[in-house]
């Protein structure tokens, strides 16, 4: 018996060591390095990298480009979250008792398994002012062609729609899984009581989907702050016309790899980390609340 337990412990250690090692190497070490760099004026254009304390963080709050990119990211979130959570929620409620639910689940999930590069290239072709599918459809119905990615007034919302298209399936799967987890006995009791479908949705489905909804909102929020590849490829390595698609992740990248200000970019990344952690903390508090139904 002791030999079996010892073998189980050795197997457990053998499984955990690579995982812990990979987590330390690819998560904790870069996090610690970034945090350390944020306190230095680490610029590859200069040979010395003096310690500057919190100067990079002070500079961040006075940087108009950083502040505008942060505000633009918040606008992106305001556009994206209602779309990426609200539309799948409505669809899930409509498909609640549909026989083709599993078929639609597969179809809607297809964009989610595509790489960001593939999605960006596909939609850059669709948005193309010359030969693009969307402008071709507009021309057929007599509308003028639109520079979706070259016009500051449409560039950001065009990126939002692409991101929505890719993440739509994932959120649908999450909400469908939450819906399948609701005990059927609640619906049976409501049916016996003669409750309408609207009342069942309002007083049973939505309260019991609360934590799943909060989780979906959290995922949409976090992904909005880290979106990079789609924007970078669709705007051909720029921040869009008049910086219209310069979100906070793009600003961090440009400061690090174009301006070579790794210390300042690290301070931005740490600041972003605390924003995300703060939101996750709020999400956890909301998720613990109990709804009456």
pTM of the shown model? 0.86
Q: Residue with structure tokens 């909102």? A: 217
The span from the CA of 186 to the CA of 277, in Å, is 35
CA angle 48, 49, 54 (to 5 degrees): 150
40: left (phi over 0), alpha (psi -120 to 50) or beta: beta
184 to each of 14, 97, 115, 179, how far by Cα in Å? Answer: 42, 12, 37, 10
Q: Residue with structure tokens 């399936």? A: 169
pLDDT tens per residue across span 20-36: 998 898 888 988 988 99
256 to each of 44, 45, 71, 227, 260, how far by Cα in Å? Answer: 10, 12, 20, 16, 5
DSSP 18-51: HHHHHHIIIIIHHHHHHHHHTTB--BTTSS---B
Instruction: Please state which of the ranges 75-89, 126-140, 181-195 shows the lowest mean pLDDT.
Output: 181-195
pLDDT tens per residue across span 279-292: 888 877 776 666 55
Domain boundaries, the chain: 1-37, 52-288
pLDDT tens per residue across span 194-231: 778 888 888 888 888 888 998 899 899 999 998 999 99
Q: Tell me which of 1.10.3720.10, 3.40.50.10680, 3.20.20.70, 3.90.1150.10 is the CATH number of domain 52-288.
A: 1.10.3720.10
Q: Mutual orientation of helices 55-62 and 64-81 as an angle, nearest 10°? A: 70
Nearest to 212 by CA among 172, 178, 173, 186: 178
> How far is it between the farthest Cα atoms of the chain?
81
226 to each of 44, 139, 140, how far by Cα in Å? Answer: 24, 35, 37
Task: State residue 99's pLDDT score.
Answer: 67
């Amino acid at each position: 018996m002791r030999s079996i337990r010892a073998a189980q412990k050795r197997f457990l250690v053998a499984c955990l060591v690579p995982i812990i090692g990979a987590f330390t190497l690819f998560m904790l070490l870069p996090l610690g390095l970034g945090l350390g760099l944020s306190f230095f004026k680490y610029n590859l254009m200069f040979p010395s990298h003096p310690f500057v304390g919190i100067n990079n963080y002070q500079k961040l709050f006075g940087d108009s480009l950083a502040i505008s990119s942060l505000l633009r990211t918040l606008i992106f979130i305001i556009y994206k979250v209602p779309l990426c959570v609200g539309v799948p929620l409505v669809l899930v409620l409509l498909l609640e008792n549909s026989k083709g639910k599993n078929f639609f689940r597969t179809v809607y999930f297809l964009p989610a398994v595509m790489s960001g590069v593939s999605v960006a290239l596909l939609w850059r072709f669709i948005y193309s002012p010359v030969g693009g599918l969307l402008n071709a459809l507009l021309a057929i119905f007599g509308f003028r062609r639109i520079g979706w990615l070259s016009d500051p007034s449409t560039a950001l919302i065009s990126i939002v729609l692409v991101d929505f298209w890719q993440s739509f399936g994932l959120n649908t799967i999450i909400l469908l899984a939450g819906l399948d987890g609701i005990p059927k006995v609640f619906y049976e009791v409501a049916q016996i009581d003669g409750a309408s479908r609207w009342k069942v949705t309002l007083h049973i489905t939505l309260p019991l989907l609360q934590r799943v909804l909060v989780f979906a909102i959290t995922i949409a929020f976090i992904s909005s702050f880290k979106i990079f590849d789609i924007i970078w490829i669709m705007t051909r390595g720029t921040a869009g016309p008049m910086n219209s698609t310069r979100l906070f992740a793009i600003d961090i990248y440009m400061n690090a790899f174009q301006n070579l200000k790794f210390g300042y970019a690290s301070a931005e990344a740490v600041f972003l980390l605390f924003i995300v952690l703060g939101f996750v903390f709020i999400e956890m508090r909301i998720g613990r609340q109990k709804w009456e139904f």
